[in-house]
C-alpha cells in the first residue's frame, strides 16, 4: 500500500484486522525483516491488524535530502499513524533503529500505545559510545559457507553468530532484499550523518506503565545489550531478556524463544487491556 506523506511515497503493508500493531524495522533493511519474524506469531492469533512500514529511503519508501535526522523521520511515522489508524490506540514494536524510533513514539504519544516490544534496540546512537561485545561466531557450517559466493559469506559472517543453513535462508529472504533495495545515497550520505533525536527520548514525563518486552542478544556486537539496562526503569511492566546464541539477528537465531516471549507479551497486553476496559 502507498501513503503520500510530505510529498513522499511511503510504502506499508496491512495484514489482518482488529487491534492495530505498528512494526518498525531497523536501519537499511525493510519491512520484510519484521514480517518474517512476526507473522508466524500473529498467524496463530486472531484480532490484530499488523502494519509493516518501510521507513523513508528503505524498501519501497522514498527518501529525500530534507530528512536529515530522526525527528523528521518520527514526524513521517506519526503522520502515517494518523492517516492509517486515526485516533486509535495501538501496539508498537521496533527492531534496532526501529527501537529508537519506537521510543520516540513513546515519548510523544505514550497514551495511545498499549504495549511496547524492543528487539535488539538501538539505545545509543553513536557507535563509539555503545557498550558492545566483540563479534564472535558460535556455530559455523563450513559446507554452507563454501557454497556461498565470497560477498554473501562476508555479509553473513559479519553480523550473525550462528552460521547455519536455516539462519542463512531467512537472512537471504528477510534481510538481504531490504539491504539491496534501499536508497544508498540517502542512507549513507544524508540520514546517516546525523540521525539522533534533538531530544532525549528516554527522559519520559511518566513511566510507561504498560506491558513491554526487551529482547537482546548476548553476542550482539552491533547494538549490544548493556546500554538497554540503563532505561529499564522507564518500563515497570517490562520483561528484560538477554539471549545466549544470539547476535543482532536474534529473531532468526533464537526464533523459538522469541516467539514464546512475544506471545507472553501479547497475553499480558490482552490482560492489561481487559482490566482497564472494565
Cα(24)–Cα(101) distance, rounded to whole angstroms? 8
Q: Which pLDDT score is estimated for 275? A: 76
Taking the domain 2-277, which CATH number applies? 3.40.50.1820
At residue 190, the pLDDT reads 74
In angstroms, the CA 258 to CA 182 distance is: 27
Q: Is the pLDDT of residue 18 over 90?
A: yes
Residue 30 near residue 177, CB atoms below 8 Å: yes
Reported as a single tens digit per residue, the pLDDT across 234-278 is: 999 999 999 999 999 999 999 999 999 999 999 999 999 887 765
d(CA 41, CA 45): 7
Helices and strands per DSSP (H, E), number in the chain: 11, 10
pLDDT at 277: 63
Span 154-160, mean pLDDT?
95
**Parallel, antiparallel, or unpaired for β 8-15 and 48-53?**
antiparallel
Segment 103-152, tens digit of pLDDT? 999 999 999 999 999 999 999 988 888 999 999 999 999 999 999 999 99
pLDDT in tens, 180-233: 999 999 998 777 767 789 999 999 999 999 999 999 999 999 999 999 999 999
CA neighbours within 13 Å on the CB side: how many for 260? Answer: 5
Tell me the pLDDT band of 83, cut-offs 50, 70 and 90.
very high
Longest dimension (CA), the chain: 59
- Specify the pLDDT at position 126: 83
In angstroms, what CA-CA distances link 43 with 36, 47, 91, 112? 12, 10, 16, 24
pTM of the entire structure? Answer: 0.96
Give the mean model confidence (pLDDT) for residues 164-188: 95
Amino acid at each position: 500500500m502507498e501513503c503520500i506523506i510530505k510529498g513522499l511515497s511511503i510504502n506499508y503493508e496491512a495484514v489482518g484486522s482488529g487491534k492495530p500493531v505498528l512494526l518498525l524495522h531497523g536501519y537499511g533493511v525493510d519491512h520484510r525483516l519484521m514480517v518474517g519474524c512476526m507473522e508466524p506469531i500473529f498467524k496463530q492469533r486472531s484480532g490484530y491488524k499488523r502494519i509493516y512500514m518501510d521507513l523513508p529511503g528503505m524498501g519501497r519508501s522514498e527518501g529525500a535530502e530534507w530528512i536529515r535526522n530522526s525527528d523528521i523521520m518520527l514526524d513521517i511515522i506519526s503522520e502515517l499513524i494518523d492517516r492509517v489508524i486515526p485516533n486509535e490506540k495501538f501496539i508498537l514494536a521496533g527492531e534496532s533503529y526501529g527501537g529508537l524510533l519506537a521510543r520516540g513514539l513513546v515519548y510523544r504519544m505514550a497514551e495511545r500505545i498499549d504495549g511496547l516490544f524492543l528487539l535488539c534496540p538501538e539505545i545509543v546512537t553513536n557507535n563509539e559510545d555503545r557498550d558492545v561485545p566483540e563479534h564472535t561466531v558460535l556455530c559455523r557450517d563450513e559446507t554452507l559457507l563454501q557454497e556461498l559466493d565470497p560477498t554473501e559469506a562476508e555479509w553473513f559472517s559479519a553480523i550473525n553468530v550462528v552460521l547455519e543453513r536455516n539462519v542463512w535462508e531467512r537472512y537471504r529472504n528477510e534481510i538481504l532484499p531490504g539491504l539491496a533495495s534501499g536508497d544508498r545515497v540517502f542512507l549513507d550520505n544524508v540520514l546517516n550523518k546525523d540521525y539522533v533525536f534533538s531530544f532525549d527520548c528516554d527522559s519520559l514525563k511518566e513511566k510507561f506503565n504498560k506491558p513491554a518486552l526487551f529482547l537482546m542478544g548476548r553476542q550482539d556486537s552491533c547494538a549490544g545489550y548493556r546500554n538497554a539496562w540503563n532505561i529499564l526503569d522507564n518500563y515497570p511492566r517490562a520483561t528484560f531478556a538477554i539471549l545466549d546464541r544470539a547476535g543482532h539477528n536474534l529473531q532468526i537465531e533464537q526464533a523459538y524463544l522469541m516467539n514464546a516471549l512475544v506471545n507472553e507479551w501479547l497475553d499480558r497486553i490482552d490482560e492489561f487491556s481487559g482490566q482497564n476496559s472494565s
